[in-house]
Amino acid sequence: MVFLRSLLFNLIQWTSVLPASLLSILAWPLPPKARLSFIALWARFVMGLARWVLGIRYRVEGLEHLLPGPCVILSKHQSAWETIAFQAIFPPVVFVLKKELLRLPFFGWGLAMTFPIAINRDAGREALRVIEAEGRDRLAKGLWVVIFPEGTRTPHGQRKKYQAGGAMLAVKAGVPILPVAHNAGRLWGKSAFTKYPGEITVAIGPPIETAGRKAGEVNAAAEAWIEARMEGL
């Protein structure tokens, strides 16, 4: 039954990508926040689909920590679930992602309409320069920036080194960091076809102020909170 539900969900989701991508392209004249809010309707559709077809629900802790202005979100990255769900949970967000995704037919074209910060992950300092320059631009437009500091999807229960690019952007732009922990990988694994019913918890931590602090210090504080919270998930 789990396999059949996953098959049905994947078929509907994949089929919906084409019309969603075309609608995203048509939304290009809209202002940034309006465009992202419109595109996020697809994310809300997928979250509803996951609930009714897969039996995957989610709850959010720490909504009181959401800020009135833009910030940098540093989060665990375990699957595709959070890249969809964060569009429904947070104010209009943009993601730092690998440039190759924009080359995918239809999906990549629609993705390009979301103001992503696309980088070559092997470019080193050049990638950091892109994150800072384009990140400042997105924050100035009132958009929140999501960065996965581990750099790639990491299975639930595992961890990788936290890169400091997100903390560096927050420090130089003078905005806080919002640390986020979640356990989506338990039910919706990395590149997994089969997805399992249950409840995902998304925990939003207290904002980490960056004024007068170094990027390494801020990054360490975010990592400490996220990893400590992961132990309870």
Count of residues making up the chain: 233
Q: Could you tell me the fold of the domain covering 2-230?
A: Glycerol-3-phosphate (1)-acyltransferase (3.40.1130)
Residues near 125 by beta carbon (within 8 Å), at least 6 away in sequence = none
> Domain map of the chain by residue range?
2-230
pLDDT exceeds cutoff 70 at 123 = no
Please, what's the b/e burial string for 78-109 (b: 16 or more CB within 10 A of its CB; e: otherwise)?
Answer: bbbbbbbbbbbbbbbbbbbbebeeeeeeebbe
- Report d(CA 163, CA 151) in Å as an integer: 7
- Percent of the chain at pLDDT exceeding 70: 99
pLDDT, tens only, 56-66: 999 999 999 99
- Report d(CA 65, CA 142) in Å as an integer: 17
pLDDT at residue 9 in the model: 96
Residue 224: C-alpha distances to residues 52, 77, 146, 175 (Å): 35, 16, 18, 19
pLDDT exceeds cutoff 90 at 191 = no
CA 161 to chain centre: 18
206 pLDDT band, cuts 50/70/90, is very high
User: Is the pTM higher than 0.85?
Assistant: yes
pLDDT, tens only, 161-184: 999 999 999 999 999 999 999 999
> Pairing between strand 117-119 and 56-61?
unpaired
